[in-house]
Each structure stands twice: as structure tokens, then as C-alpha cells.
Amino acid sequence: MLGDEPGAFAVARFVRVTAQKSRRIADLIRGDSVENALATLQFAPQAVAENFYKLVDSAAANAETTEGLDRSDLVITVVQVDEGPTMKRWRPRAKGAANRILKRSSHLTVVVQPREVVQAKLDAANIKNSKKKGGNR
């Protein structure tokens, strides 16, 4: 997922929250520092915020342990929410009919990297875009 770049990631699979609800929280913390994201998630009212809190905390701990990076310097670069399997249940209705209930799940992925690496990527992308537009004419 990261290749040779410094950083770490954490994955939570089969989380019993729909992907649509999870993406609302994912959009809140994407691109934020780890400390700010944890503070945001701590007070978010959505149920999936607790899962994301644990995931961001785990990714930061992985970066500290495996890469020796400083937690205060980490930025969340990727927050990915994929659909997991859907359990199908049936609710009896009148006259022998039945309605289907879909119990959806999702897979959550969080990637954290040092601020310098993220800034270097942004600078390289800006230089590339300025050359594409024609630069100085």
C-alpha cells in the first residue's frame, strides 16, 4: 500500500456499519493530522466514529513501532471505505409476503505518513501541474 515510503496503515474489516455512513466520517478526517483527527472523532456522534478512532490510533501506533516516526508529525493521507459483505434477512409481512432486510458491512483502511513526505508529494504535484499548464510564457 505504501511501497518504499515511510508511514503505516491499519485495516478494520467486516465493520457492521454501512459504507455510506462510514464515508461521512472518512471525509471529516481525510488529510488531517492524527491528533486533530482523534479529537474530532472523540466527539463525533456517529457510531462508526469509535471504529475510526481505534483505527487511526492503531495506524499511528504502527508508525511509531515499525517506522520509529513521531506521532505528532503524522498526517492521515488515505482513508478508504469499501463495501463488505451484505447479510440478507427476511421480515414477514401481511398475506404471506416477506420484505428483504439488507444488513450491510464495510471495510475501513487508514494510512498515516509523516508531514514532510506529504508536503513533498504536494510540491511535486504542483510543479508537474504548473509545467503542464505552460509555466511562464
Q: Are 101 and 127 in contact (CB under 8 A)?
A: no
Burial of 71 (0-12, 13-18, 19+ CB in 10 A): middle
Q: What's the whole-number mean pLDDT along residues 52-74?
A: 95
Place of cell 492503531: 58
What's the CA gap between 47 and 51, in Å, rounded? Answer: 8
Residue 33 DSSP one-character state: B
pTM of the entire structure?
0.85
**pLDDT digits 0-9 by tens, 81-110:** 999 999 999 999 999 999 999 999 999 999
**pLDDT digits 0-9 by tens, 15-45:** 999 999 999 999 999 999 999 999 999 999 9
What's the CA gap between 74 and 81, in Å, rounded? Answer: 20
Q: Assign domain 10-90+100-133 to a CATH class.
A: alpha beta
Residue whose C-alpha is closest to residue 109's, from 10, 3, 7, 5: 10
Which amino acid, one-letter code, is at 126?
N
Structure confidence at residue 124 as a pLDDT band (50, 70, 90): confident
Query: Which residues are CB-neighbours of 11 under 8 A, at least 6 positions away?
Result: 55, 107, 108, 109, 110
* Structural domain boundaries in the chain: 10-90+100-133
As given in the structure block, the three cell numbers for residue 45 are 456522534
The answer to whether residue 135 scores a pLDDT higher than 60 is no
